[in-house]
Amino acid sequence: MATTNRRRLTGRVRLDWLTVALLLGGLLLVYYLAPLVSLFLAVPPGAVLARLGDPAVVGAATTSVLAAAISTVLATALGLPLAYWLARTGTRWKPVVLAAVVLPLVLPPTVGGVVLLTVVGPNTVVGRAAVAAGLPLTRSLAGVVLAQTFVASPFVVVTARAAFEAVDPTLEHASRLLGTTRWATVRRVTLPLAAPGILAGVTLAFARAMGEFGATMMLAYYPRTMPVQIWVSFVSLGLRAAYPIAVLLVVIAVVALVVLNTVASNPWG
């Protein structure tokens, strides 16, 4: 109140805490949006459309969307049971398991790629067996999926765990006392109530998988995903050649966000 009065009297803007907070937050927002706007201004729509027919771009887009979709399905199918267990367990090993889940998030993606190569690389037991079976785990779509799942699945586990924890266990007790089995209870009560949070995690995982670059470079330089294609274009032809694919990737990411947010009816709220 005193500040407002003084401002009126002197006519000068005084830096109260609210103004500072707005300035800081606004600066960050501008930092997010300005490069995106600048990218779209730098590329004429015609150039993007022209590159859409380029087989390299089509191939990269197909690989990216297909692999990210498979990775997201895998991350969800494998991640939800772990997330539920983490939400409900009372074991003292919980922090250790949580640390293991979060590890791929804090690991630099290239290191993640190196780590994966020690297990599924062409000279490992697993890698050789996979090649013999006709399903090589490097330089293949499977390699892309492995890399993406490694870095993206923690988003499903961490977010879904928070969503499961927010479901009152009393509701599960109530369901079971109404004659419903544990599994049916999860299906009829827990999953519907946790759905918005789970979908938020799935969205994040899909977006992360679409953008995966570091681990993918190590495991599967071919078939090229869009981030790899951007890098190749940038290195061989220069920055301007990378713009149209970058625009395409931004559009796909935004569309994915919008679609999943609509389905999830505001999972962020």
Partner 1 sequence: MTLDLAGVVTAYPGFRLGPIDLSVGTEVLAVLGPSGCGKTTLLWTIAGLRRPNAGSITLDGRALDGCPPEVRRTGLVFQDGALFPHLTARENVAYAGANPARVDELAATFEIADVLDRRPGTLSGGERQRVAIARTLATDPDVLLLDEPLSSLDAPIRRRLRRELHDLLGSLGIPTVLVTHDQRTAAALGDRLAVLRGGRVEQVGPTETVLERPRNEFVARFTGTENVFEAEVRARTDGTVTLGVGDATLTAVAERPVGAVVSACVHPSRVRLDATVQSNEDATDPRADGNVLAGTVGGWLNEGDGYRVEVAVDGAPLSLLATVPPPQFDPRAMAAGTAVRVSIPPADVHLLGEPAADG
Q: Which spans of this chain sit near partner 1 (rule: CB under 8 A)?
A: 168, 170-171, 173-182, 188-189, 192-193
Q: Which tokens go with 219? A: 């495991």
How big is the CA angle at 114 (ends 111 and 116), to the nearest 5 degrees?
110
Query: Is the CB of 69 or the CB of 193 nearer to partner 1?
Result: 193
* Beta carbon of residue 18, minimum distance to partner 1 (angstroms, whole number): 33
Burial of 84 (0-12, 13-18, 19+ CB in 10 A): buried
* Beta carbon of residue 220, minimum distance to partner 1 (angstroms, whole number): 41
User: What is the per-residue burial (b if ≥16 Cβ within 10 Å, else e) of 250-264?
Assistant: eebeeebeeebbeeb
* Beta carbon of residue 162, minimum distance to partner 1 (angstroms, whole number): 18
* Beta carbon of residue 171, minimum distance to partner 1 (angstroms, whole number): 6
Query: Is the CB of 31 or the CB of 183 nearer to partner 1?
Result: 183
Query: Is the CB of 178 or the CB of 258 nearer to partner 1?
Result: 178
Place of tokens 């679409």: 210
Identify residue 144 by its one-letter amino acid code: V
Query: Is the CB of 135 or the CB of 184 nearer to partner 1?
Result: 184
* Beta carbon of residue 172, minimum distance to partner 1 (angstroms, whole number): 9
232: helix, coil or strand? helix
Contacts of 13 by beta carbon, 8 Å cutoff, 6+ apart: 7, 19
* Beta carbon of residue 245, minimum distance to partner 1 (angstroms, whole number): 42
Query: Is the CB of 148 or the CB of 190 nearer to partner 1?
Result: 190
Burial of 6 (0-12, 13-18, 19+ CB in 10 A): exposed
Query: Is the CB of 72 or the CB of 185 nearer to partner 1?
Result: 185
